Amino acid sequence: MRASLSAPAVVAVLLAGAAFAQVKRGGNPEAARLVNPVERSPTSIAAGRRIYQRMCERCHGPAGKGDGTSATGAEPPSDLTDDLWAHGSTDGEIYTVIHDGSSIDMDGYAGRVSDTDIWNVVNYLRSLGPAAAPAGAAPPR
């Protein structure tokens, strides 16, 4: 017998893939399992800060308070120094928001910033806030 996929089945699979690629508000268990491969060293934090200043500051503000002036969407840029992480608070979830983008208000940086540099930015953001969970920490349950 010939194994064949019906057109609706193919569409369903594609839609499921698209939904999965979207950053989900309220945390992303799949992303939470990612382990930060870059040690949170002063070198990494400094590299992350340089990228932040070049690419993120205009929206998230010089100190990460969300008070940059370039965001035009309905949603204000997040304060990245508080302990509120709308898309999840693990390193992996923060990495995924930066990599894939968050909703329509912030484009993803995959392809523009290397994976290592995205982890450097995660390490930098971790150095700002009070909720500095250890790198690669297990997600809160």
- Binding residues vs ligand HEC (CB under 6 A): 55-56, 58-60, 70-71, 73, 75, 77-78, 80, 84-87, 94, 97-98, 102-103, 105-106, 109, 121
Q: Which is nearer to ligand HEC, 37 or 123 (CB)?
A: 123
How near is the Cβ of 109 to ligand HEC at its closest, in Å? 5
Which amino acid would we find at residue 46? A
Euclidean distance between CA atoms 58 and 60, whole angstroms: 6
How near is the Cβ of 99 to ligand HEC at its closest, in Å? 10
Euclidean distance between CA atoms 89 and 105, whole angstroms: 19
Euclidean distance between CA atoms 17 and 65, whole angstroms: 33
How near is the Cβ of 132 to ligand HEC at its closest, in Å? 14
Euclidean distance between CA atoms 95 and 116, whole angstroms: 10
Q: Which is nearer to ligand HEC, 9 or 107 (CB)?
A: 107
Q: Is residue 76 a contact partner of residue 67, using CB atoms and an 8 Å limit?
A: no
How near is the Cβ of 121 to ligand HEC at its closest, in Å? 5
Q: Which is nearer to ligand HEC, 55 or 132 (CB)?
A: 55
Q: Which is nearer to ligand HEC, 12 or 29 (CB)?
A: 29
Euclidean distance between CA atoms 124 and 94, whole angstroms: 11
